A and B are shown apart, each in its own frame.
Chain A
Amino acid sequence: AQSVTQPDIHITVSEGASLELRCNYSYGATPYLFWYVQSPGQGLQLLLKYFSGDTLVQGIKGFEAEFKRSQSSFNLRKPSVHWSDAAEYFCAVGGANAGNMLTFGGGTRLMVKP
């Protein structure tokens, strides 16, 4: 069965500092990986996705993520965090499971200090 682990439940960074959110997955074949962001009281918005090609993918809002097959990881990065980036971030894996639906990690809540 596929699974996703986000080891950090909460992360606090200072505005302007760099950010890395960790995501580890378990999947039996080629994974299809996603990062979503959820602002308070809102639904989820897609930041970026990976399913083939270049292992470094660029997303919206200045985010990027790198797929590392050897480490089963898909970490999300941003070089300089803005106060508006405070939100909850979810990593998800999709593929040839039932209905090809996504399996989500537990989420990482990002807080940004001024």
Chain B
Amino acid sequence: NAGVTQTPKFQVLKTGQSMTLQCAQDMNHEYMSWYRQDPGMGLRLIHYSVGAGITDQGEVPNGYNVSRSTTEDFPLRLLSAAPSQTSVYFCASRNGQFYNEQFFGPGTRLTVL
């Protein structure tokens, strides 16, 4: 099992560019989520999905889109990158109930100039 994988590891964008952060898991988990990590603010939920075809917004969804066409993949799209989106992005997945362990990917460090 590869667990949760994320690509790319690092990315530099210019303001206004768009891109997609990839996330995949091979554990057949129903729940997947995207967080951003900023110094002193912990991890904040951007979007999440409770199954293929079902997504919803988290705490900080503005400027990001998601879709979930398969159980395995949950890409995060930045529509028009802004410097405020400079952050480290983590994808996570878990199976079933909320008290089950969430498994995190290694993260993508994004810089927007």
Contacts and interface: CB of A to CB of B under 8 A. Distances in A.
Interface of A: 4, 6, 9, 32, 36, 41-46, 49, 51, 90, 92, 94-96, 98-107
A75 B99 CA distance: 18
A44 B41 CA distance: 15
A49 B97 CA distance: 13
A106 B102 CA distance: 18
Interface residues of B, number: 25
Interface of B: 4, 31, 33, 35, 40-45, 48, 50, 56, 58, 90, 92, 97-99, 101-102, 104-107
B97 A90 contact: no
5 contacts: A42-B107, A44-B104, A90-B42, A101-B33, A106-B40
Contacts of A106: 40-42
A94 B98 contact: yes
Contacts of A45: 104
A25 B56 CA distance: 24
A6 B40 CA distance: 10
A98 B58 CA distance: 8
A46 B98 contact: no
A43 B106 contact: yes
Given A32-B99, A101-B58, A43 B40 contact: no
